[in-house]
A and B are shown apart, each in its own frame.
Chain A
Amino acid sequence: QKEVEQDPGPLSVPEGAIVSLNCTYSNSAFQYFMWYRQYSRKGPELLMYTYSSGNKEDGRFTAQVDKSSKYISLFIRDSQPSDSATYLCAMSGTSYDKVIFGPGTSLSVIP
C-alpha cells in the first residue's frame, strides 16, 4: 500500500461547479497536510496548509482533514478555467519531516 493515494483523474467539470479532490494515507503519524497546485511545466504552488484535523477556508478553497479516517479533501467552489491544473496533496509528520506527495489529480474546468 502506498503511503499516500490519490485518484489521478483526469477530472473534467463545467465552469462554476464545485470540485472535490481527495487523498487517503496510511501513516497515522502525519500531522501536517498541504495541497499544491501545479500548472503544466511549472513548479508546485502551495494552496493550503493545515495542521491536524479540521477545516480551513481560503477564498474559494476549503481544505478538510479527517485524521480518524486518514482522509483529506480539497473543495473548490465556483470553479474557473484558470483552476485547470494538477492538484497534489502532501503531508508530513512534523514541519521538518520529509514531505510525502500524492501522485496528483489532473483537473480540467471547461468554460
Chain B
Amino acid sequence: GAVVSQHPSRVICKSGTSVKIECRSLDFQATTMFWYRQFPKQSLMLMATSNEGSKATYEQGVEKDKFLINHASLTLSTLTVTSAHPEDSSFYICSALNGGGNTDTQYFGPGTRLTVL
C-alpha cells in the first residue's frame, strides 16, 4: 500500500519556540495532503487541507498564522507550529490523498507527538 512518513516522530520544545513537522508521500504523488490533530482518547480533528502549489484551507477555529502549512512539492507538506505553547501539545497526523477518480483514499503518516514545556 501507499506509504506516508512523518518527521520527527516525537519532539519536545520550550514554550515560545517554533516546530516544523514534515509529511512525505514515499511512493506516490499527492496533490492534496491533510493535517489532523488528535488529543488523548479523542478522534482526529482536521486542521487544514494542503494543496500543492496553493494556499492551505484551514478549518474553522484553526489559526492559520500559528499553524503554517507549506506544500511545496507533490511529495512533501510541512506544518510549522509557531510560538508553541503547552496547549499545543498533541499528536499531529498528516495524510495524503492517493489514487484517481472514485478511488481516492487517504493514507496516514505515523504521527508526530509534540510536547511543549
Residues on A lying within 8 angstroms of B by beta carbon are 8, 34, 36, 41-46, 49, 51, 88, 95-96, 98-99, 101-104
Contact B113 A103 (CB under 8 A): no
Contact B44 A101 (CB under 8 A): yes
Contact A98 B44 (CB under 8 A): no
Contact A49 B42 (CB under 8 A): no
Residues on B lying within 8 angstroms of A by beta carbon are 1, 4, 6, 32, 34, 41-44, 46, 49, 91, 93, 97, 99, 101-111, 113
Contact A103 B99 (CB under 8 A): no
Q: Which residue of chain A lies nearest to B46 when distances are taken between CB atoms in the complex?
A: A98
* Complex: A96 Cα to B4 Cα, angstroms: 18
Chain B residues with Cβ below 8 Å from A44 are: 44, 93, 108
Contact B43 A49 (CB under 8 A): no
Question: Of A8, A41, A49, A103, which is within 8 A of B111 by CB?
Answer: A41
